[in-house]
Amino acid sequence: MTQAIEVRGLSRRYGGPRGFEAVKGISFDVARGELFALLGTNGAGKTSTMELVEGLDRPSGGTVRLLGHDPFAERAAVRARIGVMLQDAGFPADLTVAETARMWAGTLPDARPVPEALELAGIGHRARVRVKQLSGGERRRLDLALAVLGRPDVLFLDEPTTGLDPESRQNTWRVIRDLLVAGTTVLLTTHYLDEAQALADRLAIMDAGSIVTSGTVAQVVGAYPARIIFRLGDPTDIPDLPGAPTIDRDGPDVVIKTDELQATLSALLRWADDHDVTLRDLDARSASLEEAFLTIAGGHR
């Protein structure tokens, strides 16, 4: 078996059969050793999905296989093999960092030494500090230390770098990359598109409970056009341009979308030059994950 996670037609309804459907029949696979990122706007259903894959609740519909098991019905078979970093773990505030990790290690069959896990997550220097005295970013690092304490085969990271300073984010990324090299499978949710771009082998963008697009970063981005944006002073007619672009005009504002940025842009610049037209605030950019995300998220506003 090469898939660590198999999700088929998964749905989650809150509040009974007539309640709110937060996840609407989604499917995806995550191969062993792969990092799969779930992206989406607030309330898209990322955490609801992740919790079902972790086995915290029974799906309203569809199936989840985690390391070959049903994670809800066969919880005992998977619990020791997964590590979970929740958005808000809620540990006793009066314990120190090391005491918290020791307590957690006591529940695991093959825990790393506590100092090793704390060092790995960059929180070793705060081992004797009480949890309630940690900053928000330090709490995230403690959460990460606890998630990796049991040497998990599959690691669930729900917004792992929210609230971290840039250096700590880089550190967390390094930790995640090292774990991937060691063969760990990771399911990640994040609001940082650069984080997904930097870490994800594959990703899915969710909106309103459904997966709108998924694939490698290159595949997802490749499905969206490049954009050329500028303002025209006069009501000049824009000529036909190569690359079969779509041209939207709103008063002086022009947005051109094209799959052949270089060809379209070159012709546009030649035309502007020949006709002495100024393209004010000219901005040309390739498709990006941000573009794909905003198009998907914006399409439902």
Ligand X SMILES: Nc1ncnc2c1ncn2[C@@H]1O[C@H](COP(=O)(O)OP(=O)(O)OP(=O)(O)O)[C@@H](O)[C@H]1O
Cβ proximity to ligand X: between 20 and 31 the closer is 20
Q: Side chain identity at 182, as an amino acid letter?
A: A
C-alpha separations of 236 from 22, 253, 261, 271, 284 in Å: 48, 12, 22, 12, 20
Cβ proximity to ligand X: between 24 and 202 the closer is 24
Q: How many CB atoms lie within 10 A of CB 285?
A: 12
> Alpha-carbon torsion 184, 187, 189, 195, what sign?
positive
C-alpha separations of 163 from 19, 139, 140, 224 in Å: 33, 10, 8, 30
Q: What is the smallest separation between the CB atom of 93 and ligand X, expressed in angstroms? A: 23
Task: Please work out, in degrees rounded to the nearest 5, the angle formed at the alpha carbon of residue 245 by the alpha carbons of 240 and 250.
Answer: 85
C-alpha separations of 41 from 149, 272, 275, 294 in Å: 30, 39, 43, 9
Q: What is the smallest separation between the CB atom of 41 and ligand X, expressed in angstroms? A: 7
Cβ proximity to ligand X: between 22 and 117 the closer is 22
Cβ proximity to ligand X: between 19 and 222 the closer is 19
Cβ proximity to ligand X: between 52 and 261 the closer is 52
Cβ proximity to ligand X: between 3 and 210 the closer is 210
Q: What is the smallest separation between the CB atom of 14 and ligand X, expressed in angstroms? A: 3
Q: Are 45 and 25 in contact (CB under 8 A)?
A: no
Q: Are 8 and 63 in contact (CB under 8 A)?
A: yes
Q: What is the smallest separation between the CB atom of 20 and ligand X, expressed in angstroms? A: 6
Residues forming contacts to ligand X in the complex (CB under 6 A) are 14-15, 20, 22, 40, 42-48
56: nearest Cα among 77, 37, 71: 71
Q: What is the smallest separation between the CB atom of 231 and ligand X, expressed in angstroms? A: 35
Write out the two tokens for 270: 């030649």
Q: What is the smallest separation between the CB atom of 191 and ligand X, expressed in angstroms? A: 6
